[in-house]
Amino acid sequence: MATRFNMFFGTHDTAQPRQRLKEYPREENELRLRSSPPLNIFEYESANIRVRYEERSGMADGDRPLSKRRNTIDVTTGVLADHELCNSRPGSASKVVADNRKRLLERLNIEHEPSVDLQTHMANKGMKLGWSLAQPLPIPARNDGAPGSTYLELGGSMMTNLDWNNLKILNWFTDNGVDMSLELIEGVTGCNMYDILIVNSQCARKLCEIGVMDEQRSWHPADISSFRDDVKRIDGSQDFIFLPINDGYDNTTGTHWTMLLIHCQKRASPTEAGEYKVWWFDSLGGKSKRSYKIAQVVVKGVQRTLKCRGYLANNLHMNKTAIVSKEHCPNQILDNKSDIDEGGSACGPFIWGITQDITRYLVLGRRAGVSSNELGRGIDDILPHLRNRFEFNSANWRTAIQNLITRERRMRIAKTGSDDWWDTLHLYQSSPGFTRAQGAYQIWPTHLRNGAPAPVVPVYIFLY
């Protein structure tokens, strides 16, 4: 069966049951692993987390069934690798990972790998060695099952049990669901390495508040200083800014999600006036007038924020030309391949889908050496093909978001016994002076963290 590669799904052919993973002989996977040496190796390490990511290529698309791809992804992200490393068998896939790690250590001139007594570590965490993906996730102690309890927390977003259920039972997307799904894209693609920023809905709402200030009477740069913590990620260093727009940012609940994309062209000096371009993606064909007005106000907020940061952004404004025309923009009523029973409430999945599609275009372009200005101009070229190329399937996207969230949570729990963000709970308990608030900024750009060294950002891109 012909399959289409997708970074998040592995393939659109979701009919492959996951249980079949065990039916494939391990030797085949080993051969695959050996035949495609990793192009790049990324390793992240904190107090008690050691995660390794590998980027591979050399395998034709469709050459590798989902079940085998999935196995490779799990091994390289370390979910299975750790307990496999303990019981490493000669020639197993885990040995390949171990060999790669050894080679990396040699390259880095590290004589001895820090000893990790995983068995003791996992026993301390109350986890049984040999815990596998087939077993249900252990429920962290702080999640008491109540709707308001935290299901998963990331650096800039959190999700409760209620939000998780909303995601599964096709309810409308909440801001929590939107923020988490977008932040996962940011983490998966490594956006902050390529000057791409995906802000969360809380930040976008603050920008709306800044934009709505009356310029003649009350607005003054000093007013924005009170928002500095809320909008600190908008600092003029980004080339592309994605902003989720809800039509309820003026303190109502809202009914519709749309996506705003701003391209800030590179300039020679920060004080030079830059060129800006705005695109607004609406899955209702640009008909939602209220969302359009809110988006205009948000753009005004971005312009004022950049101005306060010392960037001349006078020509940053939004008019009708920013609306991606209904001929080009996928429509949630006309183009959605899911039935209303399977994939209703499609505007939330739409903004996730459009963001992951364009982000992937930008990231892969940057990795191939294309400048951000060229990529920005290229967006206009790809838009006419967007509706044909874009497979609008909100049910699939909901599944993809659930998979990403589950994978993030599973990996964190498997590694640390906690679903806390970067296991900060453990960190600030064990080291005096380390606070949760500091931990939350670990993924943010270097210049926002007072000159601390930039962390290695994991990249999960698999080019089979």
Partner 1 sequence: MSDQGSPNQHKPEDAGSEHLNIKVTDNNNEVFFKIKRTTQLKKLMDAFCDRQGKNPNSVRFLFDGQRVNPTDNPDSLDMTDGDTLEVHQEQIGGC
Q: Residues in the site for partner 1, rule: CB under 8 A?
A: 142, 147-150, 153, 156-158, 160, 162, 171-176, 178, 201-203, 205-206, 229-232, 246-249, 251-257, 284, 344-348, 428, 435-437, 440
Whole-number Å distance between alpha carbons of 78 and 407? 11
Q: Which is nearer to partner 1, 227 or 240 (CB)?
A: 227
Shortest approach of partner 1 to residue 182 CB, angstroms?
A: 13
Q: Which is nearer to partner 1, 54 or 175 (CB)?
A: 175
How many other C-beta atoms are found inside a 10 Å radius of the C-beta of residue 395?
A: 19
Report the candidate in 284, 233, 237, 266 with the shortest Cα–Cα distance to residue 375: 266
Q: Which is nearer to partner 1, 173 or 276 (CB)?
A: 173
Report the candidate in 334, 201, 296 with the shortest Cα–Cα distance to residue 257: 201
Q: Which is nearer to partner 1, 115 or 218 (CB)?
A: 218
Q: Which is nearer to partner 1, 34 or 168 (CB)?
A: 168
Shortest approach of partner 1 to residue 154 CB, angstroms?
A: 10
Q: How far is CA 168 from CA 13, 175, 199, 299, 354, in A?
A: 20, 15, 24, 32, 20
Those residues whose C-beta lies under 8 Å from the C-beta of residue 223, and which sit 6 or more positions away, are 210, 213
Two tokens, residue 4:
């289409």
Q: Which is nearer to partner 1, 90 or 432 (CB)?
A: 432
Shortest approach of partner 1 to residue 202 CB, angstroms?
A: 6
Shortest approach of partner 1 to residue 397 CB, angstroms?
A: 13
Shortest approach of partner 1 to residue 166 CB, angstroms?
A: 9
How many other C-beta atoms are found inside a 10 Å radius of the C-beta of residue 148?
A: 9
Shortest approach of partner 1 to residue 127 CB, angstroms?
A: 21
Q: Which is nearer to partner 1, 251 or 269 (CB)?
A: 251
How many other C-beta atoms are found inside a 10 Å radius of the C-beta of residue 189?
A: 26
Q: Do 328 and 384 touch, CB atoms closer than 8 A?
A: yes
Q: Do 41 and 454 touch, CB atoms closer than 8 A?
A: no
Beta pairing partners, 257: 246
Amino acid at position 241, single letter: I
Shortest approach of partner 1 to residue 413 CB, angstroms?
A: 16
Amino acid at position 304, single letter: R
